[in-house]
Amino acid sequence: MTLDQIAGAAYYASGRVNIGVVMGEGQAVLIDTGLDEGGVRKVLQAIEQAGARVVAVLNTHAHADHCGGNAFVRKRTGAPIYAPPVEAALVQSTQLEPFTLFGAAPFPDVDTKWLHAAPSPVDHLLEGSLELCGLTLEIIPTPGHSINQVGIATTDVAFLGDALVAPELLERYPIQYCYDVLAHRRTLASLPNLRQTWFVGAHFRPTRDLEGLVAANRRNLERTADAVLGTLSSPAGTEEVVAHTTEALGIFFMDPPAYLLNAAAVKAHLSAHVREGRIGFEIQDRRPIWRRLP
């Protein structure tokens, strides 16, 4: 494993989930830790070989593939862990992710490691800016994909977590998980204002073409929003909306975790359509029903 330098003090370890590293003055900061100890173990070795010591872990958000290596890094290095407000509670109590997706105590089919990371303590909340490795790191609010996600930036490079994903993943997973479509839309509108010259995510490689990436992600979001609305030519129940939206977007197979993630994203779109006055929600014959408003 080698760390690839992006620009200045900013590096990343490429993988199924990219892990960011900022190094300076013999110190290193990890930006997210991947799904489990497998990936981050090699990153710790590479940092050690570079002669640096891990002094902090910064989590962009609490999804299992971003904080799952925290516990291992903590055990190995003792480094303090930082997470955004609200997300911090989920990093510490990782059973909340399958709980929030399923809505009750999960069972094994919906309690996989992709949804349920090893828990870890959180020592500090991630807000404003912080001084580490002799650098000022800027914390950029990017809520929407999750409840209170943040990006983390040096002067040259913004680490954007899951605020954006690579175009090829938008093709492979046509419905992107989203907690709050309206917040995510505002985040997408704000990202082009960033001053950095390089951008990297957990699921996209470093790029300078921020506007192109934002545009692809925005098209994906609006295509899903339109597909959800398109299922409501007549009033329909939640499960019908999920089934018809996934079918319309070419998703023909889902395992239980994929179903939960897609259903949650569809519900985020339903919520946004209600809040913007396009559809209404009622309980009819003991069933939840969504209907287009005139």
The phi-psi region of residue 267 (left if phi > 0; otherwise alpha if psi is between -120 and 50; otherwise beta) is alpha
Which range in 62-70, 90-98, 135-143, 277-285 contacts Zn ion by CB under 5 A? Answer: 62-70
37 binds Zn ion (CB under 5 A): no
Is the Cβ of residue 144 or residue 206 nearer to Zn ion in the bound state?
A: 144
What is the total count of residues that contact Zn ion (CB under 5 A)? 2
- Least distance (Å) between residue 289 CB and Zn ion: 30
Are 54 and 44 within 8 A, CB to CB? yes
Is the Cβ of residue 35 or residue 133 nearer to Zn ion in the bound state?
A: 35
- Least distance (Å) between residue 202 CB and Zn ion: 7
* Residues 195-214 within binding reach of Zn ion (CB under 5 A): none
Are 71 and 118 within 8 A, CB to CB? yes
* Residues 271-290 within binding reach of Zn ion (CB under 5 A): none
Are 141 and 115 within 8 A, CB to CB? no
Q: Which tokens belong to 40?
A: 């981050």
Is the Cβ of residue 19 or residue 28 nearer to Zn ion in the bound state?
A: 19
63 binds Zn ion (CB under 5 A): yes
Which range in 38-46, 61-69, 214-222, 257-265 contacts Zn ion by CB under 5 A? Answer: 61-69
* Residues 153-172 within binding reach of Zn ion (CB under 5 A): 162
Are 290 and 244 within 8 A, CB to CB? no
Q: Which tokens belong to 69?
A: 């290596």
- Least distance (Å) between residue 264 CB and Zn ion: 12
Q: Which tokens belong to 268?
A: 């985020």
- Least distance (Å) between residue 228 CB and Zn ion: 20
215: Cα within 13 Å, side-chain hemisphere:
4
Q: Which tokens belong to 257?
A: 């975790």
- Least distance (Å) between residue 177 CB and Zn ion: 6
Rounded CA separation 152/264 (Å) = 26
Interior angle at CA 93, CA 75 and CA 188, nearest 5 = 100
Which range in 28-36, 57-65, 224-232, 277-285 contacts Zn ion by CB under 5 A? Answer: 57-65
Is the Cβ of residue 175 or residue 236 nearer to Zn ion in the bound state?
A: 175
- Least distance (Å) between residue 72 CB and Zn ion: 19
Q: Which tokens belong to 154?
A: 């040096």
32 binds Zn ion (CB under 5 A): no
- Least distance (Å) between residue 181 CB and Zn ion: 15
Is the Cβ of residue 63 or residue 116 nearer to Zn ion in the bound state?
A: 63
Is the Cβ of residue 63 or residue 244 nearer to Zn ion in the bound state?
A: 63
Is the Cβ of residue 21 or residue 163 nearer to Zn ion in the bound state?
A: 163
Q: Which tokens belong to 261?
A: 């993630």
Cα separation values, 98 from 29, 116, 152, 243, Å: 28, 6, 26, 21
Rounded CA separation 28/54 (Å) = 5
188: Cα within 13 Å, side-chain hemisphere:
22
Binding site for Zn ion (CB under 5 A): 63, 162
